[in-house]
A and B are shown apart, each in its own frame.
Chain A
Amino acid sequence: MGDWLPAGGRGTMSDVPTLRVENLTTHFETRAGVVKAVDGVSFSVWRGRVLGLVGESGSGKTVTGFSILGLVDPPGRIVGGRILFQGEDLLAMPPARLQAIRGARIAMIFQDPMMTLNPVLRIETQMVETVLAHEAVDRETARQRARDALGTVGIPSPDERLRAYPHQFSGGMRQRVAIAIALLNRPDLIIADEPTTALDVTIQGQILFEVQKLCRERDLALIWITHDLAVVSGLADELCVMYAGRIVESGPVEEVLTRPLHPYTIGLIGSVPSRNRRGEPLRQIPGMTPPLLHLPPGCAFRTRCPRVLGDCASEIPLLPAGVGRTVRCIHTDVMVPA
């Protein structure tokens, strides 16, 4: 691991996890049938650590994030599982208690910062409101805190920028404001849903830099939802790979990326253009993600899998695969042709 992490200050695996999701199941009951967007997902994230939740469109990674904060709208419904935040089940909690935690102890950063920002209010108004919603402090204290938060995320001249409207910021700056708002009430957990996907490379680098620093300095737990394995490889400690609503592989990020076990993870890594294979055809995963309404029984990946065998049609559990690793595949001993 890099030398940039100070030895102290980071949570260890022996602590109680900041967030523990157990068997989370979120369904969308549509006229055409039940879409199992999230189907029995479990993971934990500790303070000071970053969990990467990786998957392609429709894999359920965003719905997982939304489920944790109770943001799933009908026809979507959480039909099972537990979400333990510092030991308390968010799903069993009275609404008032949930409201006190949401936005204060748990914050969310969305892909589009305009989902966080109100276009017709000054940044100052929005940030002060966020503080006052959770704490009885006077306006001036709230304003000070807003200004400090803007400074923390690297916005120059925060006093002036507080008076600005969202449209006066560039895309990268808006995302920084959204991150600053997420930090306002000093949360213990931040859920970031593709926050750098819409940004340019150099701006993405700046945001990743700020996020790394924050996580390190404030001992935050962070869930980073993305489709981009390359971003996660530089940022996360643990990795969960999702496919068709389920986690198919999890483990420490370096191990999963260097020795992937699930054929989907192997295919996904092979699909990334990289300097090692310039000019050669990319290894591609044949076919496409099956529609969630018509998932094949058993392993959802088996229709595209190079190592498929007859018993793949049975229900495959998430199996332990070495220290801290799990995989949802019963044929990991079969080599995948490169």
Chain B
Amino acid sequence: MSVVAEAASAHAKPAAAALPIVALDRVSRDFVQPQGIADRLAGLFGAVRAELRVRAVADVSFAIAEGEVVGLVGESGCGKSTLGRIVAGLLPPSAGRVLYRGVDVEALPPEGRRAYALGVQMVFQDPAASLNPRMRVAEIVGEAPRVHGLVPRTQSDAHVDEMLRRVGLDAGLKRRYPHQFSGGQRQRIGIARALAVRPQFIVCDEAVAALDVSIQAQVLNLFVRLREEFGLTYLFISHDLGVVEHVSDRVLVMYLGRVVEEAPTDELFAAPNHPYTQALLHEVPRIDTGRRLYRGIAGEIPSPLAPPPGCHFHPRCPHAMPICRTESPPLIEIAPGRRSACHLNAAA
């Protein structure tokens, strides 16, 4: 709990010194491959087979204050989507607690549970896969507020029109099906669906990754505008550092299930502390740097099935020391509002 309290006090603005909207306290999530028939039969005959266990998220704590935009970056398989789903309440953690406005979501009364479920919404990467192809847009956007009784049936139509207008879609198109829209428009429908239940917090999981650059800019601008109009809080998950840098106030960097660095956006991009963050920032092609020699960090991302012992990054790290191979570095505060998990900080 102490970590969460610290994080919360460090980042909450004085005016909103209230509880963080969502906080994670030492959250882990494992995925275990269920035993198939063959394995169970083999088990009957005494063969013992190690179960396949992936720790997608390992011991993660952080807090998100009201009105904040937190970016979450990492490469494929680092657990950022799993973390996003845990924050949105779509996936329970295997260990640890998720707190919604200071209360453990497991202990919430039914009314509070509902407030959490509606208050935290999610926008997904692939709008084609996250919209029911057999439902009309009016139904996709209007269903949840009607079912939850947020909008009287008579005003349902007006509510849908209003939501579509807010995301920049023509309300006259609401009788259409998702396949009749372009990728950017479909993503807008997904955003309208999330907004329709009046959330305070939206988890955006690679919400602009599938879009062309010019359309991506339109949708990013929409996210920024909606944040102002509705006073929203975002957890913005992306592999694209440029996008995260543009929208976030604060950034979390994940590597193989662990948060390795956390810092205000400006500080992170100006002076990354963790060697992984440094490597990641160096690799990002930038339009404003001009011709340059690419260097490439050595090695591959290890399999999450068999992560290296100690610091997960040590096999690729240019600064690896003996201690890095045996001991996992804790995520400690290195400056006000900044945390990093690297033994170099202790050595310095």
Chain A interface (Cβ < 8 Å from any Cβ of B): 1-2, 4, 56-57, 170-173, 200-210, 212, 227-231, 233-235, 253-254, 257, 267-279, 281-285, 288-289
A284, B214: Cβ atoms closer than 8 Å: yes
**B173 sits at the interface (CB 8 A):** no
B294, A212: Cβ atoms closer than 8 Å: yes
Give complex CA distance A152, B254 in Å: 31
User: Which residues of B are found within 8 Å of A202, using beta-carbon distances?
Assistant: 75, 279-280, 283, 296-297, 301
Give complex CA distance A268, B348 in Å: 44
**B221 sits at the interface (CB 8 A):** yes
User: Which residues of A are found within 8 Å of B76, using beta-carbon distances?
Assistant: 171, 200
**B1 sits at the interface (CB 8 A):** no
Partner of B293, one of A4, A170, A230: A4
User: Which residues of A are found within 8 Å of B319, using beta-carbon distances?
Assistant: none
A281, B221: Cβ atoms closer than 8 Å: yes
A273, B214: Cβ atoms closer than 8 Å: no
Partner of B242, one of A1, A268, A273: A273
Given the known interface contacts A202-B280, A227-B213, A275-B269, the answer about A282 and B296 at a Cβ–Cβ threshold of 8 Å is: no
Give complex CA distance A288, B214 in Å: 8
Who on chain A is nearest to B266 by CB?
A278
Instruction: State the 3 A-B residue pairs at the shortest beta-carbon distance, nearest first.
Output: A206-B296, A273-B246, A271-B217
As a 0/1 sequence over residues 283 to 308 of chain B, the CB contacts with chain A under 8 angstroms (1 = contact) are 11111111111111100110000000
User: Which residues of A are found within 8 Å of B169, using beta-carbon distances?
Assistant: none
B280, A273: Cβ atoms closer than 8 Å: no
A201, B220: Cβ atoms closer than 8 Å: no
User: Which residues of B are found within 8 Å of A284, using beta-carbon distances?
Assistant: 214, 217-218, 221
User: Which residues of B are found within 8 Å of A257, using beta-carbon distances?
Assistant: 287, 290
B294, A205: Cβ atoms closer than 8 Å: yes
A253 to chain B, nearest CB (A): 7
B245, A278: Cβ atoms closer than 8 Å: yes
Give complex CA distance A273, B297 in Å: 24
Who on chain A is nearest to B269 by CB?
A275
Given the known interface contacts A172-B300, A208-B294, A288-B184, the answer about A228 and B288 at a Cβ–Cβ threshold of 8 Å is: no
A282, B301: Cβ atoms closer than 8 Å: no
**B241 sits at the interface (CB 8 A):** yes
B214-259 contacts to A, CB under 8 A, are 214-218, 220-221, 224-225, 239-243, 245-247
**B130 sits at the interface (CB 8 A):** no
**B212 sits at the interface (CB 8 A):** yes
Q: Which of A172, A201, A268, A284 has the most CB atoms of chain B within a 10 A radius of its CB?
A: A201
User: Which residues of B are found within 8 Å of A233, using beta-carbon distances?
Assistant: 285-291
User: Which residues of A are found within 8 Å of B182, using beta-carbon distances?
Assistant: 288
Give complex CA distance A115, B69 in Å: 39
A282, B217: Cβ atoms closer than 8 Å: yes
Partner of A272, one of B242, B289, B295: B242
Give complex CA distance A277, B245 in Å: 10
Partner of B214, one of A206, A268, A277: A268
B285, A208: Cβ atoms closer than 8 Å: yes
**B265 sits at the interface (CB 8 A):** yes
Who on chain B is nearest to A201 by CB?
B283
Known: A233-B291, A273-B242, A282-B220. 14 other contacts (CB 8 A): A4-B292, A4-B293, A201-B239, A202-B75, A202-B301, A205-B297, A228-B285, A229-B287, A230-B286, A234-B289, A235-B285, A281-B224, A282-B217, A284-B217
A254, B242: Cβ atoms closer than 8 Å: no
Give complex CA distance A253, B287 in Å: 11
B245, A275: Cβ atoms closer than 8 Å: yes
Given the known interface contacts A200-B76, A227-B212, the answer about A273 and B245 at a Cβ–Cβ threshold of 8 Å is: yes
B291, A254: Cβ atoms closer than 8 Å: yes
B290, A234: Cβ atoms closer than 8 Å: yes
Can you name 10 A-B pairs with beta carbons within 8 Å? A1-B291, A4-B292, A4-B293, A170-B300, A206-B294, A231-B285, A273-B243, A278-B245, A282-B217, A285-B217
A200, B294: Cβ atoms closer than 8 Å: no
User: Which residues of A are found within 8 Å of B285, using beta-carbon distances?
Assistant: 204, 208, 228, 230-231, 233-235
A301 to chain B, nearest CB (A): 11
Who on chain A is nearest to B281 by CB?
A201
Given the known interface contacts A227-B212, A254-B290, the answer about A201 and B241 at a Cβ–Cβ threshold of 8 Å is: yes
User: Which residues of A are found within 8 Å of B301, using beta-carbon distances?
Assistant: 170, 200, 202-203
B288, A276: Cβ atoms closer than 8 Å: yes
User: Which residues of A are found within 8 Å of B266, using beta-carbon distances?
Assistant: 278
Who on chain B is nearest to A277 by CB?
B246
User: Which residues of A are found within 8 Å of B218, using beta-carbon distances?
Assistant: 284-285
Give complex CA distance A285, B332 in Å: 43
Give complex CA distance A228, B286 in Å: 10
Partner of B220, one of A204, A273, A276, A289: A273
User: Which residues of A are found within 8 Å of B287, using beta-carbon distances?
Assistant: 229-230, 233, 257, 269, 272, 274
Give complex CA distance A183, B159 in Å: 59
A274, B242: Cβ atoms closer than 8 Å: yes
Who on chain B is nearest to A254 by CB?
B290
B214, A56: Cβ atoms closer than 8 Å: yes
B55-112 contacts to A, CB under 8 A, are 75-76
Give complex CA distance A282, B294 in Å: 27
